[in-house]
Structure 1
Amino acid sequence: MGFQYDEATLHELVREWNDLADEFRRDQEQAAALARAKGPGLEYASGDNAEKIQQSGSALLGTLAAREEYCRTMAGKFNAALGKYAQAEDGHTTEIKQTGGSL
């Protein structure tokens, strides 16, 4: 047995997962700025500091991209569940009509 959601909840879950993915997408734009950081001066320490910030920015960028992908995958799963929900509803409607009932 698994979780069971109504149609409205499934729509809400798709929206929430996509909203979260959009937030991770926006955060990637800021992380990309870190990955392009330049040192404030020309001395060795400035360059080394900038390199460390760039590495951190690149790592953050990769993490945020993975989080966005996960959220999009989850939204896709709930969207697929919506398709199954619609098929089940159509099947039940057809079954009811065949027995002479109505919705």
Structure 2
Amino acid sequence: MPDGQPPVYDPNTRRAPLTPITPQAGTYGAPAGTGASGPGFKYDRATLQELADDWKSLADEFRSDLAKANVIAGARGPGKEYASGGNAEMVRTSGSALVTTLFERQQYCREMANRFVTALGKYARAEDTHSTEIKQTGGSL
């Protein structure tokens, strides 16, 4: 190092080049100039199914973690002295908080999965309705 100075960390020298992120599916909100109002998501059928499956999978992971957290919540001290008992009590308290948190996250993921399944059902009903209307006018899909 020049002049015996230690190296100085400069975070700007370690940045990866920025690449634009292109959305794969869906949009948020109403497209400009459509007259539609209000926020919302618009996805195709495959994307809705994939999102529902992803949320279900994440919920299943939390359920698996819950089983392990219950072991922590039931910890016992290795000995009968005060230190072991006190340590085990603190571990059980932490384990109990972990169980509660994981359970809430599992529920949230299941609710999100159900929302996408519900949206998928609405999508299918709307598609069936439009298909019926087209057929009644003599058109075909």
Q: TM-score, normalised by structure 1?
A: 0.98
Counterpart code for 1:13: L
Q: How does 1:1-40 map to 2 (within 5 A)?
A: 1=30, 2-40=40-78
Provide runs of 4+ in structure 1 moved above 3 Å: none
Find 1:85's aligned residue among 123, 128, 132.
123
Deviation at 1:37, TM superposition (A): 0.4
Deviation at 1:10, TM superposition (A): 0.4
Q: Which residue of 2 aligns with 1:58?
A: 96
Q: Which moved more, 1:60-69 or 1:1-10?
A: 1-10
Counterpart code for 2:137: T
Does residue 48 in structure 1 map to residue 86 in structure 2? yes
2: CA distance, partners of 1:78 / 1:70: 13
Q: Which residue of 1 aligns with 2:139?
A: 101
Post-superposition Cα deviations, 1:58-102, rounded to whole Å, max 9, x if no partner, equal 010000000000000000000000110011001110111011011
1: CA distance, partners of 2:53 / 2:92: 33
The count of aligned residue pairs is 103
Post-superposition Cα deviations, 1:15-60, rounded to whole Å, max 9, x if no partner, equal 0000000000000001000011011111100000000000000010
Structure 2: gaps (5+ residues): 1-29, 31-39
Counterpart code for 1:65: F
2: CA distance, partners of 1:37 / 1:87: 51
Report the structure, 1 or 2, having the larger helix content. 1
Q: TM-score, normalised by structure 2?
A: 0.72
Give me the CA root mean square deviation.
0.6
Aligned-residue identity in percent: 63
Counterpart code for 2:53: R
Larger-gyration structure (1/2)? 2
1: CA distance, partners of 2:58 / 2:130: 34
1: CA distance, partners of 2:121 / 2:98: 35
